[in-house]
Amino acid sequence: MTIRSHHFSLGGISVSLSSDCRSFVDEYRSLYEPYRRATAPNDAIEIRIEAHHRFPWRRGPFLIHSEGEEGFEVRRRFEVLPHLEWIINWQIIKKRADYVQLHASTLTSPEGALLLPGDPGAGKTTLTAGLLTRGWSYLCDEFALINPRTREIHPYPRALCIKEPSFSVIDRLGLPLCRKTPYHKPTKGRVAFLNPLDVRPDIVGAPSPIRWVVFPNYVAGATPALEPISRSQAAFQLLRQCFNFKAYRGRALEILTDVVRDAECFHLTSGEIHATCDLIQNLVAVRPAPKVCA
Amino acid sequence: MSMTVGETEYRTSQHPTRRDNIVVCELDGEAVLYDERSGAVHRFNETALTVWKACDGSRSAPAIARIIAGRYALDSNRARTEVDNVIRKLTAKGLLLEASGAGDLQRDVRSEVDPPAQDPSQKPNDDEGESRSASRLPSRRELLRGGTAKLIYTAPLISTFFASGACASGPSASAAFGAGGCKTVGYSCAAPPDCCVFPGDGLCSAGSCCGFNGVACDSDADCCTPRTCDLGSCST
């Protein structure tokens, strides 16, 4: 049986997906159909999903291969899509050294891009979802892909992966979170996907220079607060979040110090979502983007 | 001259000298540095940066202390104490050249290997008018011309972490934590950034750091399924 590959290009990231189990491809297509293309670009990340039914009474396990190497083995079908997204992330880190990559959410406005770097659990994705309802355009909730020549952030508009404790927050924001399928990810528990195209069809932003670097830290019940930090602090913390530092080394330092030199930098204590988003909106409104001398 | 940090004694030059192969980027009077030899990233506040810049091999520690005292209007004894502390830390972090002829007491500072040739792409870009290497300190005349020092003194601050990948090629599970607090293969983790194994070389899987092909290992448990530990290295 010939298994066909399906090709997608999300911003600068291309994926070629094949599976002997059609439903997995259909799940991926349900999120990324508008990004589908007829042929695979040369730099497409190749992913293959195989279902191995060892016992007649149980489906699985499911093997997720990437670039010809074995990647994950998951037992349950509802773990496949989250691990598929995860293995794409790892291949981006390995293959796409044409970007300086940070662990960060990124959004953009007419004034420039907002960078939200942070460790897992900092509240980046939930805050990103909130800002999408405030008119921000979307670049990515997991990666900041920085062009090393232009220092601009490029989009990779994957679906936002929302953890179960944030489901009620997404509901309060009025966003269309599909929870029919109980997806599960070992390090995050139950998750659901928010398709940014369901928020606004034209929501994906264009490559943008970075104007604000904000390090969020969610504290339940806290009053949201923004604290300015020095640019050296910001550069130091950005380097900690650099996925592919090994590929760039000293150049990463130079590129990221250039980024913060043109940006305003803050620590953010995040609390209730609407109040936190108000704080970010006020920041952008009151402090226009610094003029960059040519 | 020798200095003690904890139980370890380091020998430093009478005139402390910055090491080569360190990328320095200054931002608003502070700096972020990358040590190509160790893989460490450091952040200096203004005071630490001033001391670092003064360590050019032409000044003794007391002379550097006089600069700090003049710049920040500090008492000379306090300035000397602060400068000695910074030089001690810089030495312990391997950022200063060791004294020649020092023997077994050297830790971290001595390198038996010639420093790698500098990559031209990492040379400071002076065209932007931004000094990427330590710039000239103000002279005494310039300081005096400005009257009493107006700069606000803050205690020297040096922060350090080891960039991803520095732990990956080391011994596998013999220590739970690599430098910087990351965990080596075989140890528990909550998320990929917890693991020393560099992204793409391994991951945090089912709560445990594991390696992909080629990562050093002690047992099959150190390797991401379905890999096994074969002759000390994960393989499919």
Give the pLDDT mean for B209-223: 79
Task: Please report the pLDDT score of residue B190 as a whole number.
Answer: 66
Q: Which residue of A has its CA nearest to B197?
A: A243
Cβ proximity of A148 and A254 under 8 Å: no
Residue A138 or residue B204, greater confidence: A138
> One digit per residue, pLDDT tens: chain A, 294 residues?
567 899 999 999 999 999 988 899 999 999 999 999 999 888 999 999 998 776 666 566 888 888 877 677 888 888 889 889 988 988 898 889 899 999 999 999 999 999 999 888 889 999 999 999 999 999 999 999 999 999 999 999 999 999 889 999 999 999 998 877 888 876 667 889 999 999 999 999 999 999 999 999 999 999 999 999 999 999 999 998 998 888 898 999 999 999 999 999 999 999 999 999 999 999 888 554 444 444
- Among B122, B164, B206, beta carbon nearest to A251: B122
Give the pLDDT mean for B96-114: 45
Strands (E), B90-190: 158-162
Ramachandran sector of residue B108 (left: φ over 0; alpha: ψ -120 to 50; beta: rest):
left
Task: Please report the pLDDT score of residue A56 as a whole number.
Answer: 61
- Asked if pLDDT for residue B122 goes beyond 50, the answer is no
Q: Which residue of A has its CA nearest to B204?
A: A187
The C-alpha atoms of residue A126 and residue A271 are separated, in whole angstroms, by 11
Reference B69, options B77, B61, B59; nearest CA is B77
Task: Please report the pLDDT score of residue B38 as a whole number.
Answer: 87
Residue A178 or residue B40, greater confidence: B40
Contacts of A186 in chain B (CB under 8 A): 205-207
The model carries a pTM of 0.76
Q: What percent of chain B has pLDDT over 90?
A: 33
Helix, strand, or coil (residue B234)? strand
Mark yes or no for CB contact B205/A261 under 8 Å: no
Contacts of A94 in chain B (CB under 8 A): 199-200
- Among B30, B132, B200, beta carbon nearest to A232: B30
Contacts of A230 in chain B (CB under 8 A): 27-28, 30
Task: Please report the pLDDT score of residue B121 as a whole number.
Answer: 37
- Comparing A53-67, B40-54, B214-228, the range with the smallest average pLDDT is A53-67
Give the pLDDT mean for B158-187: 51
Sheet holding A36-37, edge to edge: A36-37, A6-10, A13-19, A45-51, A62-66, A69-74
- Among A240, A250, A261, beta carbon nearest to B161: A240
Is the backbone peptide bond immediately before A120 cis, with ω within 30 degrees of 0? Answer: no
> Which pLDDT band, with edges at 50, 70 and 90, does B55 fall under?
very high
Task: Please report the pLDDT score of residue A55 as a whole number.
Answer: 62
The answer to whether A52 faces chain B, any CB pair under 8 Å, is no
Mark yes or no for CB contact B163/A230 under 8 Å: no
Task: Please report the pLDDT score of residue A235 as a whole number.
Answer: 97
Contacts of A260 in chain B (CB under 8 A): 27
The interface residues of chain A toward chain B in range 186-245, judged by CB-CB distance below 8 A, are 186-187, 230-233, 235-236, 239-240, 242-245
- Calculate the average pLDDT of chain B: 70
Residues in CB range of A223: below 8 A, 6 or more apart: A269, A271, A275
The answer to whether A70 faces chain B, any CB pair under 8 Å, is yes
- Among B36, B41, B236, beta carbon nearest to A239: B41
- Asked if pLDDT for residue B131 goes beyond 80, the answer is no
The C-alpha atoms of residue A185 and residue A83 are separated, in whole angstroms, by 7
- Asked if pLDDT for residue B50 goes beyond 90, the answer is yes
> Which pLDDT band, with edges at 50, 70 and 90, does B119 fall under?
very low
The C-alpha atoms of residue A67 and residue A8 are separated, in whole angstroms, by 16
Mark yes or no for CB contact A246/B121 under 8 Å: no
Contacts of A239 in chain B (CB under 8 A): 32, 34, 41, 161, 163
- Asked if pLDDT for residue B164 goes beyond 60, the answer is no
